[in-house]
Structure 1
């Protein structure tokens, strides 16, 4: 780079940058993006999901007439919302960046957009969830294996049977600490298989538990949600793009990164929320003396 001339952003690096982040962003998502139905599209008009209708089988009478099934099947159209961030790269000559440096900066960007995917899915889940009495009225209880039994009562009441489809439950770190006081949750002798998609979490009683720190909280009462895979959806518009500019007064590159996404509830009777009192410390819990309130 000669004196008095602004640096240039290599074209090959522009392509590599966006391709890498798009791959991570769309294929891996965040902590919860792979727990719901997901679609990546190139045109916003294609961001359409169809719910699964309930079909019944009945005895055929002599006239051969039968009731129509699947009438409650719905079409849900998402409206992608634009989000973005500004990323600083403090290196004038980008060719001096090592592959390791580029990988770390791309990872930072990917994680930022992945957190956004998680938050938009959780917001849709909480907004569309049915309330339950799990955790006591107004969240008076701590998280326990007894609550997990009540979760299956709620799911079975809606015709969702254990082991039939993937069920996920998002819990906070404090809820996880509550559960770890109980050997039937903490011990590897009681838990199930690894979570799908190489997600980090624990499977217990056929429910995949994922610890998520940004669940809604009010006055120490935290809201958790549990849902089936088919009950929530996430749409990603495949137009993630970074526009780079040289900030001469600061001697750095500024990457203006944008993406578009949306999420929604698909099935009303497949998403539920519960509340837990996080003011209760794990060490105050006596597993042997516990009874649900």
Structure 2
């Protein structure tokens, strides 16, 4: 057997980890403003202010808008997800242990990516609701109205995150659930994660603050309101540990998140213990 066969094993494992991370890892990375291949410990996103039009006298000078540019720093952090694969254990199991470890590591890193973004979204001070009820038609309308009031673009890049319980409650709201209001994608038959309603792409997410408690938080936000920086995407390293008679499989990444524009993120405060209407 070739002495370099382990190199092929490492490359195949790393590809599997990357594919698992993209497939079932992070749900939110593609829904925010993102920078890849960041060099250094942080990166900066620019928040651009609003321009103001003005008049001028004939042959007079145009008044500059002096559009405000606010830099928002996104600090990167290093994260690891590793485990051992005992050499003799591999002969005793009837499943692909390598795939199990690959998926566990990739999904763990994916959840960490979403955790970073959700923690930043939770820094906003704009909210609707007061934790006294489950999701209602009024709360959904108020959340979208708040984005409109803040001049957040309605350009197809608005996103909404609901806990599984609030998603179930939303499906009891005719305007949200019925194809008569939102097109052909019948809610109880759809296979994808998202549902477009009032210009917002809604999805279920199990990592929202306070899930399954009486003080849960859902979100609506615009893609450009949150930033994600990646200095090192998900990579893998496999080493033989002779004293343990096992391979140590380590997956790692260097990433960070930041809140670019608080006005582009709206909290929906709900009671996640509310019953689903009959």
Task: Indicate whether the TM-score tops 0.5.
Answer: yes
2:57 pairs with one of 49, 61, 65: 61
Which residue does 1:232 correspond to in 2? 226
The answer to whether residue 244 in structure 2 is matched with residue 253 in structure 1 is: no
Which residue does 1:172 correspond to in 2? 163
In the TM superposition, what whole-angstrom CA distance separates every residue of 1:85-135 from its partner, at most 9, and x where no partner exists? 1123344699xx99x7655543332212111111111011112x1232x22
| Partners of 2:77 and 2:256 within 8 A in 1 | yes
Cα separation, 2, equivalents of 1:70 and 1:26: 41
1:150 pairs with one of 142, 145, 154: 142
Structure 1: unaligned runs, 5 residues or longer: 2-6, 286-293
Coordinate RMSD, CA, aligned: 3.5
Cα separation, 2, equivalents of 1:102 and 1:115: 20
2:276 pairs with one of 255, 274, 282: 282
The answer to whether residue 71 in structure 2 is matched with residue 80 in structure 1 is: no
Cα separation, 1, equivalents of 2:44 and 2:13: 29
The answer to whether residue 108 in structure 2 is matched with residue 115 in structure 1 is: no
Cα separation, 2, equivalents of 1:260 and 1:199: 29
How many residues align? The count is 271
The answer to whether residue 202 in structure 2 is matched with residue 209 in structure 1 is: yes
| Partners of 2:32 and 2:227 within 8 A in 1 | yes
1:106 pairs with one of 92, 102, 119: 102
Cα separation, 1, equivalents of 2:138 and 2:224: 25
Cα separation, 2, equivalents of 1:31 and 1:193: 24
| Partners of 2:156 and 2:199 within 8 A in 1 | no
Q: Which moved more, 1:169-178 or 1:64-73?
A: 64-73
Which residue does 1:188 correspond to in 2? 179
- Structure 2 counterpart SS, 1:48: strand
Aligned in 2, Cα 1:92/1:73: closer, same or farther, shift over 3 Å?
farther
In the TM superposition, what whole-angstrom CA distance separates every residue of 1:195-220 from its partner, at most 9, and x where no partner exists? xxx96121111111111112111852
| Partners of 1:170 and 1:225 within 8 A in 2 | yes
Aligned in 2, Cα 1:150/1:225: closer, same or farther, shift over 3 Å?
same
2:125 pairs with one of 126, 130, 144: 130
Aligned in 2, Cα 1:203/1:91: closer, same or farther, shift over 3 Å?
farther
Q: CA deviation at 1:188?
A: 2.8
| Partners of 1:165 and 1:229 within 8 A in 2 | no
Return the TM-score normalized by structure 1. 0.78
In the TM superposition, what whole-angstrom CA distance separates every residue of 1:141-182 from its partner, at most 9, and x where no partner exists? 220222121112211211125x33411111111111111112
Q: Which moved more, 1:59-68 or 1:206-215?
A: 59-68
Aligned in 2, Cα 1:207/1:151: closer, same or farther, shift over 3 Å?
same
| Partners of 1:42 and 1:239 within 8 A in 2 | no
| Partners of 2:82 and 2:251 within 8 A in 1 | yes
Q: Which moved more, 1:45-54 or 1:256-265?
A: 45-54
Which residue does 2:214 correspond to in 1? 220
